[in-house]
Chains A and B, each alone.
Chain A
Amino acid sequence: MKYQPVIGLEVHVQLLTDTKIFCGCPTKFGSEPNSQTCPVCLGLPGALPVLNKKVVEFAIKAGLSTNCSITPRSIFARKNYFYPDLPKGYQISQFEDPICQRGWLDIQLEGQAVKRIGITRIHMEEDAGKLVHGDLPGLHDGSGVDLNRACTPLLEVVSEPDLRSSDEAVSYLKQLHQIVTWLGICDGNMEEGSFRCDANVSVMPVGSDTLGTRAEVKNVNSFKFVKQAIEYEIQRQIDLIEDGGTVVQETRLFDPNLGKTRSMRSKEEAHDYRYFPDPDLVPLVIDDEWVERSRRELPELPEQRRQRFITELGLPEYDAEVLTANRALSEYFEAGVAAHGNAKAVANWVMGEITRSLNDSGTAIQDCPVTPLLLAELLKLIDGGTISGKIAKTVFDEMWKSGKAPHVIVEEQGLVQVSDSGAIEAIIDGIMAANAGQVEEYRGGKEKVFGFFVGQVMKASKGKANPAVVNQLLLDKLKG
C-alpha cells in the first residue's frame, strides 16, 4: 500500500529582547547558572509578572509578516504540569485567544507549484529552565537546575498539518527562519536553541481522508536533522502498520547520532494541563491603530525584496534569491548598487569574490572589510579601463587584507592597465620573435595558437596589458 505522510510543525522562536517576558532579568546566553534570576522567574510566592511590551511588538510583527490576523483582545493562561525545570508548577502561555491567528506562508519546491501552508496560531509564552545531568563539579546524586532561561520570551508558531514531505517541512521552516531573523526578533541560532522545532508526523493510506495517529518528534535542532527525523519517523510508522501494528500517540526524541527517533517515557495518562486564565496578567488589548503602526514599521520582507530585485533591478531569479538570503546581505548589495549603478555587475561581485572571501574567513557580511562603497569604487576602476577584471581580483584581495581603497592599491603597486599600443606592440614583437615556430603554425591555419600568444603577452605584462588592445594588435601582427 502507498502511504501519504502528514506533517505539522510547532516552532519555538526565542525573542531577541534584552530582558525576560515577565521580569527585568537579562536573557544573555551562557551566564553562570541561576545568576539571571529574580523572585518572578524563580516562581517565588507573591511575585507579580508584568508583560514586556517589546515581546508584544515582536509578536505583532511576526504575525503580520506571516499573514496572520492580530487578535484584538488576547489573554494569558496557566498551563499546569510538574517538572523540576518549571518552578511555578505552571507555564504562562496563551491558550484561547492567542495574539496571532490564521496566517500562512507560501512555499515552492524546485520544479513544483507554489503551495500555501496554513499557520494556525502564534502565541507568546515563557520558556522553562534547564536541567543538567551527569558530572558536575560538586554535584551530588541527581540533576542540576539552572533557571537563567526560565521566563525567556518565546513565540510558538503552530502550522496546520498541511505539509506532505520532509522537503516541504524544511522549506517552510527555512522561510519562517528567514522571516524572524530578517525582522530582527530572533537570532535564529538553532544550536543554542533560539529556533527549535517539534514535528507532528502521521501517515495515512493514499486517497484516505482520515488522518493517522500522530507522533510528536522533539529535539530537532538543525534543518538537516528535521529532514532526517521526519523521514525516519515516516518510515517507522509505515513499517509498523505494514507489520500489522498500530501507531500510538506519543512524544519521541530524535537522536542525531543514530539518526533515529525513540519513545520518551510513555505517559500513563494523557496530558491534562488544566489551562485557565492567569489572574496575575491582565488582558492584552491591541487596537487597529497599534496594528497599523506596526505594519508601517515593518521592513521590506525577503519575498517582496526578491521580487523587486527581479522587476526593478533586472536581476535573474537565481541572483535575486541568493542576494535576499538574509537582510544584511541584501542591504550590502543595495548599498553597492546605489554607489555604482550596475546591479548585475555588483551582484556578480557580491555573489562571487565577496561571498567566497566571507566563507573562507568565516566573516559575517556585517563585518566585511570591503565596504559597498569601496567595492563600487573598484568596479568603477574596471569600467574606466584603469584596471582589467583580472587585476581587479588582485586588488580586491589586497583590499580585503589591508582595508585600503582600490585606487591607493593600484597606485602603490603600479597595477594600472597598459592600453598604450606602442608599449604592447613592443612586447608582442619580442614574443613573436622568440616563438617563430608558433607564428608559422598560426599563419598555416592553426588558429588555436592565438590563445598561446595572448597568454604570453599577458604574462610578460604581468597581467596589466589591456586585453582588448592585446587582441586587436595580435590579430593585426600575426596576419603578417
Chain B
Amino acid sequence: MSISVTDVEYVARLARLELGADEKEVFAGQMNAILGYVEKLKGLDTDGVIPTSHAVPMENAFREDLVRAPIGVDKALGNAPQRSGSFFNVPQVIE
C-alpha cells in the first residue's frame, strides 16, 4: 500500500488541517515509511489471533451511578474564547 498526496489531502480535510504543497509531499513520504514498517506484520501467521483493541490486559472498569458535584458554570466556561451568559459562544451554525 502506498500513500499518495491525494490520500494526505483527504485525511487532512477530515482533520481540518491546511497543508502546504511541500508538507503534503513530506507527510506522504513519512506515512509510507510508517505503513511500510507495519507491513512487516503481514509476514506473520496471525490466524486465530483476536485483533488487539487495547494494549493493557484489563477489563470491566466501572463507576457506580452516583452524582459527583459538577465544577460550576464559571469554571466550565473559563477557557472559552467567548461566552454569552451561561453558554459557550461559537460562530453561527447553520442547519
Instruction: State in angstroms the CA–CA spacing of A348 and B53 once bound together.
Output: 58
Chain A: minimal CB distance from B85 (Å): 5
Query: Which single member of A24, A42, A54, A269 contacts B68 (CB below 8 Å)?
Result: A24
Q: Known contacts being A25-B70, A35-B72, is A140 close to B84, with CB within 8 Å?
A: yes
Stretch at the interface among A272-280, A434-442, A463-471: A272-280
Is A32 an interface position by the 8 A CB rule?
yes
Q: Could you say which residues of chain A place their CB within 8 Å of the CB of B82?
A: 140, 142
Is A371 an interface position by the 8 A CB rule?
no
Q: Could you say which residues of chain A place their CB within 8 Å of the CB of B70?
A: 25-26, 35-38
Give the secondary structure class of A's interface. Answer: loop
Q: How large is the interface on B (under 10, 10 to 19, 20 to 34, 35 or more residues)?
A: 35 or more
Q: Could you say which residues of chain B place their CB within 8 Å of the CB of A26?
A: 67, 70
Is there an interface contact between B67 and A133, defined as CB atoms closer than 8 Å? Answer: no
Is there an interface contact between A144 and B89, defined as CB atoms closer than 8 Å? Answer: yes
Stretch at the interface among A239-247, A282-290, A329-337: A282-290
Is A421 an interface position by the 8 A CB rule?
no
Instruction: State in angstroms the CA–CA spacing of A265 and B94 once bound together.
Output: 9
Is there an interface contact between B59 and A53, defined as CB atoms closer than 8 Å? Answer: no
Q: Could you say which residues of chain B place their CB within 8 Å of the CB of A51?
A: 61-63
Chain B: minimal CB distance from A300 (Å): 25
Is A19 an interface position by the 8 A CB rule?
yes
Q: Could you say which residues of chain B place their CB within 8 Å of the CB of A52?
A: 62-65
Is there an interface contact between B73 and A32, defined as CB atoms closer than 8 Å? Answer: yes
Of residues 19 through 61 on chain B, the ones whose CB sits less than 8 Å from some CB of chain A are: 53-56, 58-61
Q: Could you say which residues of chain B place their CB within 8 Å of the CB of A265?
A: 94-95
Is there an interface contact between B62 and A53, defined as CB atoms closer than 8 Å? Answer: yes
Q: Could you say which residues of chain B place their CB within 8 Å of the CB of A44?
A: 79
Q: Tell me how many residues of A have a C-beta within 8 Å of chain B.
A: 57
Instruction: State in angstroms the CA–CA spacing of A51 and B62 once bound together.
Output: 5
Is A18 an interface position by the 8 A CB rule?
yes
Of residues 51 through 65 on chain A, the ones whose CB sits less than 8 Å from some CB of chain B are: 51-54, 56
Query: Which single member of A132, A141, A282 contacts B87 (CB below 8 Å)?
Result: A132
Q: Could you say which residues of chain B place their CB within 8 Å of the CB of A147?
A: 76, 88
Is B1 an interface position by the 8 A CB rule?
no
Is B77 an interface position by the 8 A CB rule?
yes
Is there an interface contact between B67 and A18, defined as CB atoms closer than 8 Å? Answer: yes
Is there an interface contact between A143 and B55, defined as CB atoms closer than 8 Å? Answer: no
Is A34 an interface position by the 8 A CB rule?
yes
Q: Known contacts being A32-B73, A52-B63, is A131 close to B84, with CB within 8 Å?
A: no
Chain B: minimal CB distance from A35 (Å): 5
Give the secondary structure class of B's interface. Answer: loop
Which residue of the partner chain B has the closest CB to A53?
A: B62
Query: Which single member of B13, B62, B64, B87 contacts A136 (CB below 8 Å)?
Result: B87
Contact flags A137-173 to B (C-beta < 8 A → 1, else 0): 1111111111100000000000000000000000000
Which residue of the partner chain B has the closest CB to A281?
A: B61
Which residue of the partner chain A has the closest CB to B55?
A: A279
Is there an interface contact between B63 and A53, defined as CB atoms closer than 8 Å? Answer: yes
Q: Could you say which residues of chain B place their CB within 8 Å of the CB of A142?
A: 82, 89-92
Q: Known contacts being A18-B65, A51-B62, A54-B65, is A264 close to B89, with CB within 8 Å?
A: no
Instruction: State in angstroms the CA–CA spacing of A283 and B59 once bound together.
Output: 5
Chain B: minimal CB distance from A232 (Å): 19
Q: Could you say which residues of chain B place their CB within 8 Å of the CB of A144?
A: 84-85, 87-90
Chain B: minimal CB distance from A103 (Å): 23
Chain A: minimal CB distance from B6 (Å): 13
Query: Which single member of B13, B14, B66, B89 contacts A19 (CB below 8 Å)?
Result: B66
Q: Could you say which residues of chain B place their CB within 8 Å of the CB of A282?
A: 54, 56, 58-61
Q: Could you say which residues of chain B place their CB within 8 Å of the CB of A17?
A: 65
Is there an interface contact between A34 and B87, defined as CB atoms closer than 8 Å? Answer: yes
Q: Could you say which residues of chain A place their CB within 8 Å of the CB of B95?
A: 253, 264-265
Q: Could you say which residues of chain A place their CB within 8 Å of the CB of B72?
A: 35
Interface centre among B68, B87, B90, B92 (most CB of A within 10 A): B87
Instruction: State in angstroms the CA–CA spacing of A82 and B54 once bound together.
Output: 25
Instruction: State in angstroms the CA–CA spacing of A75 and B54 once bound together.
Output: 9
Contact flags A67-84 to B (C-beta < 8 A → 1, else 0): 000000101000010111
Q: Could you say which residues of chain B place their CB within 8 Å of the CB of A18?
A: 65-67
Interface centre among B53, B68, B84 (most CB of A within 10 A): B53
Q: Identify 9 residue pairs between A and B in the complex whose beta-carbon atoms are under 8 Å apart, listed by A's number.
A: A36-B70, A51-B61, A51-B63, A52-B63, A75-B54, A84-B93, A142-B82, A146-B86, A282-B61
- Residues of chain A touching chain B, judged by Cβ–Cβ distance below 8 Å, are 17-19, 23-26, 32-39, 42, 44, 50-54, 56, 73, 75, 80, 82-84, 131-133, 136-147, 253, 264-265, 269, 272, 274, 277, 279, 281-285
